Chain A
Amino acid sequence: MSELIRLEKLTRYFDMGRGKRVHAVDGVSFSIAEGETLGLVGESGSGKSTLGKTLLGLYDKTAGSVIYKGEELPAHYRPKDFLRMANVMQMIFQDPYASLNPRMTVGEIIAEGLRLKPDIQAGDVRARVTAALERVGLHAAHASRYPHEFSGGQRQRIGIARALIMEPEFVVCDEPISALDASVQAQVVNLLNDLKTSMGLTMLFIAHDLSMVRYISDRMAVMYLGSVMEIGKAADVYFQPRHPYTQILIASNPEPDPGREKQRLSTPIQGEIPSPVNVPPGCRFAGRCPKVMPVCREKTPELLPLVNEDRLVACHLYTDAVS
């Protein structure tokens, strides 16, 4: 598999005035191969969504770069950059209630992106919208209705149809299933999986539901306070987490099995994710880490590969073990 997109030290800060700076995304590097799904997990405030939006150019990059098929994308998108990149990269949003304009019909919502494609005839638009609706399991007749007439799961399908009508190569899914009920989540996950196969999509799948991310992703990255802590094959990261933070995250995730839950030990972590304003030096997780060492408070660990394992971990515990 060849590499489709690569982030190099991608950074996004938000200045809050008075010398305060939010380190939302801080020097994140990884790559996604063609046809791959990379799952991105982390607590709220860890910078997952900001990473997705900076990656797409919806936010300007403070530093670092995004390399798409060998071409470095601009740090600040001009209108013509958006015009061009909308044809290759798209986003599916979290809240299917807030992300659809209530005053536009579903057909207008889905067709809106097609205006960026100058070679499409007006008569062709309707056929494309119908095809897009059918691809996500809705009907052609739905095009003339308004978003309020649909359930949450159906709205999320509309959001998916809107993204996919542009025939993108790369899609960022920002918590696409968090707002949906369990029985409907599975419908949307299966749909995304099918579309990934039939359209050859590459995906960045952002979510906080660890079990679902493990299920849908090929590889999984764990973020904490703007940095990637661990990245590797989804099953490896989920079943044999190496970074203390990943271990705690996985251990906090309840399972639908009362027998196993009865044996579960009490909460392995106290405290909460600290504020990302003016982050102190050293490992970001040091303040909550049960295995913290003096070096953790001084030196920021780098994301390095483990020996004999197909994964990267940013932790001083493994500094001796790195290749």
Chain B
Amino acid sequence: MTALLEVSNLHVEFDTYGGIVKALRGVDFSVESGQTLAIVGESGSGKSVAMQSVTGLIPMPPGRITAGSAKLRGKEFLGQRKLDGKTICGDEIGMIFQDAMSSLNPTMCIGDQIAETLEVHRGYSRSKAFSRAIELLDLVRIPEAARRAKQYPFEFSGGMLQRVMIATAIACKPSLLIADEPTTALDVTIQAQILDLLQSLQKETGMAIVLITHDLSVVARMADRVAVMYAGQIVESGSVEDIFYRSAHPYTLGLKLAMPSHSGGEDHRLRPIPGSPPDMFSPPAGCAYCERCDRAMRVCQSDNPPIFTLDEGHLSRCWQQHPQHTGASEGLYKKATAHIDEVQA
């Protein structure tokens, strides 16, 4: 079965006054229909750039895709606006952003903004598009959709605006929805509503979702598969259970130990990851995480580790998983869980 979206070896750079920022340094991932892939990482890790370069949303220049490919149902489309007569961005791929307020036009009423998508991509007449917009608002569970469609963004709350964004993104029934930090600016109660909505829309339409977030709890709730990004590379990827219960990369483990436990009992002291991510003007020759890693070896400083396969679909970019490293693979799982147990004890 071919994946819906398959991205491989993606390299993206940006020209800035300070020099060239190597934002992506060989990123591979794929999503299948009906599946949710979560891309997790800190700010500056390249998670948004990865999706924006696929959809052609990064400004070029200063941005530049230096290598890589992106295939939709097996067909290459990177750098193109259209594929088989359909516009990639809007028709095939819908997108929602973190800040719904600044992503919408404050001088246009909500209904017209949703209708615009349909007029442009589907050639609907104005009135037909507007009545479809009301149906879409209903679909994303906005009460009194017909009245609300005539209102302006300032009359909506943050959670409601995010629903409007979702309605716009799914207007053309895309096969893939990219949600870039969709709930970061929202309260937990509203976040729960939006995540529920995304899940039920996915069930109804069978679309794939790529969820970009920095919040591991949201990942646990939503994802089928997870890719952990660090300094422009995916350092670990696998099923959500692989990432949470069998984490292999020291960065993934570090992120987990930096959070307070959610079960009762005595608290362990939080273990922050020391230091900060590397300077992307001149990424280090070796592993980018090496300076912050508590298990760094000599090889980590000089050579960037390749991707090692631990299990079916579970990949990690760390020298610890090299077959010749003592206690590789299975042993490391045990070490990893023992490490957590010891800290939580």
| B270 pairs with A186, CB closer than 8 A | yes
Contact with A along B1-15 (1 / 0, CB 8 A): 000000000000000
Tell me if A256 and B262 are in contact (CB < 8 A). Answer: yes
**In the complex with contacts A235-B264, A249-B188, A254-B221, A182-B259 CB distance below 8 A:** yes
Residues 231-262 of A, flagged 1 when their CB comes within 8 A of B and 0 if not, give 00001000100000000110011111111110
The residues of A that contact B219 with a CB separation of less than 8 Å are 256
Residues of B within 8 A of A154 (CB): 276
Query: Is B43 an interface residue, CB under 8 A from the partner?
Result: yes
**Is B159 a contact partner of A272 (Cβ separation < 8 A)?**
yes
A163-203 to B contact mask, C-beta < 8 Å, 1/0: 00000000000000000011111110110000000000000
B244 & A258 in contact (Cβ 8 Å cutoff): yes
Cα distance, A190 to B270, chains bound together (Å): 7
Given A210-B188, A256-B217 in contact, is the A183-B273 Cβ separation under 8 Å?
yes
Contact residues of A between 33 and 74, Cβ < 8 Å to B? 43-44
Q: Is the Cβ of B256 less than 8 Å from the Cβ of A256?
A: yes
Partner of A186, one of B195, B216, B217, B259: B259
Q: B192 touching A258 by the CB < 8 A rule?
A: no
Say whether, besides A182-B214, A208-B188, A252-B188, A272 and B258 are in contact (CB < 8 Å).
no
Are B220's CB and A258's CB within 8 A? yes
Instruction: Give the distance in Å from the alpha carbon of A34 to the alpha carbon of B260 in the complex.
Output: 25
Alpha-carbon distance between A210 and B244 when the two chains are bound, in angstroms: 20
- Please report the C-alpha to C-alpha distance between residue A259 and residue B214 in the assembled complex, in whole angstroms: 19
Question: When the two chains form their complex, are residues A211 and B188 in contact, meaning their CB atoms are under 8 A apart?
Answer: no
Residues of A within 8 A of B218 (CB): 254
The range of chain B's interface size is 35 or more
With a cutoff of 8 Å between Cβ atoms, the chain A residues found around residue B337 in the complex are none
Q: Does B267 contact A (CB under 8 A)?
A: yes
A259, B263: Cα distance in complex, Å: 13
Count of residues in A whose CB is under 8 Å from the partner chain? 43
Does B191 count as interface, using CB distance less than 8 angstroms?
yes
Cross-chain contact B255 with A239 (CB below 8 angstroms)? no
Is there contact, CB below 8 Å, between B196 and A267? yes
Cβ–Cβ contact A183 & B262, under 8 A: no
Cβ-neighbour of A185 out of B43, B189, B217, B258 (below 8 A):
B258
What residue in chain A is nearest B292 (Cβ atoms)? A183
State the CA gap A249–B93 with chains docked (Å): 33
**A258 adjacent to B276 (CB under 8 Å):** no
Cβ contact of A249, chosen from B189, B259, B269, B272, cutoff 8 A: B189
Check A255–B189 contact: CB distance below 8 A.
no
List CB contacts (< 8 Å) of B155-192 with chain A: 157, 159-160, 187-192
Residues 197-226 (chain A) with a chain B CB within 8 angstroms: 208, 210-212, 214-215
Contact with B along A271-286 (1 / 0, CB 8 A): 0110000000000000
Report the bound CA distance from A269 to B194 in whole Å. 12
A residues in contact with B216, CB < 8 Å? 182, 256
Which residues does chain B contribute within 8 Å of A267, judged by CB atoms?
Answer: 192-193, 196
What 1/0 mask marks residues of chain B from 211 to 231 whose CB sits below 8 Å from any chain A CB?
A: 000111111110100000000
Does A323 lie at the interface of the complex (its beta carbon under 8 Å from any beta carbon of B)? no
Give 16 A-B pairs besides A43-B187, A190-B270 with Cβ atoms closer than 8 angstroms.
Answer: A181-B42, A182-B258, A185-B272, A186-B258, A186-B271, A187-B274, A189-B270, A235-B264, A239-B264, A256-B262, A258-B223, A258-B240, A267-B192, A272-B159, A272-B160, A272-B189
**Can you give 15 A-B contacts (C-beta < 8 A)?**
A153-B276, A182-B216, A182-B259, A185-B258, A186-B270, A210-B188, A211-B260, A252-B192, A255-B217, A256-B220, A258-B240, A261-B220, A267-B192, A269-B189, A272-B160
